[in-house]
Amino acid sequence: MLYSGPVNPTFSRRLSWPAPPNALSLLRAELEGGGRRVLDFSASNPTRVGLPSLFAPGRAGTAGPDALAGAEKLLYAPDPRGLASAREALVRFYAGGGGGRRASPPLDPASLFLCASTSEAYGWLFKLLCDPGDSVLVPRPGYPLFDYLAGLESVEARPYRLEYAHPRGWRIDLESVEAALRAGRARALVLINPNNPTGSYAAPAERAALLELCARHGTAIIADEVFFGFPVEAEPEGSSAPRSFLGEDSVLVFVLDGLSKLLGLPQAKLGWIAASGPRAELGEALGRLEIVADSYLSAGTPIMAALPGLLDRERLFGGAARARIAANMAALRSALEEPGSPHRLLRCEGGWTALVESPRIEPEEELARGLLWEEGLWAQPGYFFDMEREAFFTASLILDESALLEGARRYRAYFDRLLA
């Protein structure tokens, strides 16, 4: 007989959950539930913005819907690192300068681990590097996902700062990194290269300083490079092009990438870790990571087997996305920055997101509500990303041009009314 007495569930305290409902999301759901069409100015889902899909049927240059069929996809031959053919394809892809990186010496396929997503890769790396209660350093402003991913592994995410000076752009506050490292041992420094939503790559001097600091403190680097291949605004005259952390061997480094952004296929669920570092430490790390990976065996055989053919066609998505984000940034600048405009766009070096700074006539949350209610425009406010000041909103650079311009029009109209 099933037990039918009182239930006193005890749940983990690794997160403060259930999370209180987000008032803005509730309002959006209410409006949409009532039949109102909301324009998502911050849309980041690449499958819903009219960019070419490698899975699309009947279109020249795609892998087509049969990409996931074929004899090699019928068998299950588990390998903790993922299918060798997929890892070898990644080695060739990066060695040839794929994904916006410079051509580089080939990686060792044994240093690559395939998993379901970069989000999962974070979980694996926190398990590899941290005990419960340990900490990792994460960028602020930054994408809120990392607090959850760390919390789910009972790891504390401690912030280091990025600061903005117009028009030069963002820089990493290296003193805040050093202070955070001195305040208590951090097992890893998470570096998003380029960061989301600030769109800033690690500058060469920052890269060198972070490597030196991490070497001194015995801290590994997790370099999330999912947006690396999407440069937006050219570097200022005289500065050098951003560099990937792939193959860096002065400290233990784990570079993350995946199909969500590289090929605009978040539904394919394939991400990977490329590990590098000093020989002995790397050997230890790979052996341990193999145990983590073997415990999950997360990556699906059909998508791994399809990877070589998909990477060969990277340009179909990447080319279109790169052209679109550069054109959109220029279009946003003309739409929002004409002389006398109360808005300005922060410098954006790479990624899919532009940050618009606007007058803080009201708190960001009120402005976001007003945009939704009066203009039917959803724009993520800066506080979602822990910006230090208000008022900022994100605009997506992957929107199709008409949605982007309509979003900019509604955004301006709302502020023009408030400022009148």
Ligand X SMILES: Cc1ncc(COP(=O)(O)O)c(C=O)c1O
Residue 415 interacts with ligand X (CB under 6 A): yes or no? no
Residue 115 interacts with ligand X (CB under 6 A): yes or no? no
Do 311 and 93 touch, CB atoms closer than 8 A? yes
* Best CA proximity match to 189, nearest among 122, 286, 131, 273: 122
Residue 50 interacts with ligand X (CB under 6 A): yes or no? no
DSSP letter assigned to residue 70:
S
Token look-up 């954006």 returns 348
Among 118, 200, 298, 328, the residue binding ligand X under the rule CB under 6 A is 118
Question: By CB under 6 A, which span of 54-62, 113-121, 128-136, 372-380 interacts with ligand X?
Answer: 113-121
Q: CA–CA separation, 248 vs 207, rounded Å?
A: 11
Residue 193 interacts with ligand X (CB under 6 A): yes or no? no
Residue 262 interacts with ligand X (CB under 6 A): yes or no? no
Residue 394 interacts with ligand X (CB under 6 A): yes or no? no
Omega of the bond prior to 209 within 30 degrees of 0, cis? no
Token look-up 């179909």 returns 316
String of DSSP letters for 316-360? HHHHHHHHHHHHHHHHHHHHH-STT-S-EEPP--BSSEEEEE---
Among 40, 134, 206, 224, the residue binding ligand X under the rule CB under 6 A is 224
Q: How far is the CB of 102 from ligand X (least distance, A)?
A: 21
DSSP letter assigned to residue 47:
G
Residue 304 interacts with ligand X (CB under 6 A): yes or no? no
Among 64, 80, 159, 266, the residue binding ligand X under the rule CB under 6 A is 266
Q: Where in 151-235 does DSSP place strands (E)?
A: 156-165, 169-172, 186-192, 220-224
Nearer to ligand X, 43 or 226 (CB): 226
Residue 242 interacts with ligand X (CB under 6 A): yes or no? no
Residue 119 interacts with ligand X (CB under 6 A): yes or no? yes
Residue 358 interacts with ligand X (CB under 6 A): yes or no? no
Among 117, 200, 301, 380, the residue binding ligand X under the rule CB under 6 A is 117
Q: How far is the CB of 143 from ligand X (least distance, A)?
A: 5
Residue 192 interacts with ligand X (CB under 6 A): yes or no? yes
Side chain identity at residue 38, one-letter code: V
Residue 380 interacts with ligand X (CB under 6 A): yes or no? no
Residue 258 interacts with ligand X (CB under 6 A): yes or no? yes
Q: How remote is the C-alpha of 29 from its chain's centroid?
A: 25
Q: CA–CA separation, 166 vs 312, rounded Å?
A: 39
Q: How far is the CB of 111 from ligand X (least distance, A)?
A: 19
Residue 271 interacts with ligand X (CB under 6 A): yes or no? yes
Q: How far is the CB of 120 from ligand X (least distance, A)?
A: 7
Give φ, ψ of 262 to 5 degrees.
Answer: -55, -45
Strand, coil or helix: what is 387? coil
Side chain identity at residue 201, one-letter code: Y
Q: How far is the CB of 119 from ligand X (least distance, A)?
A: 3
| Contact residues for ligand X, defined by CB under 6 A | 117-119, 143, 192, 196, 224, 226, 258, 260, 266, 271
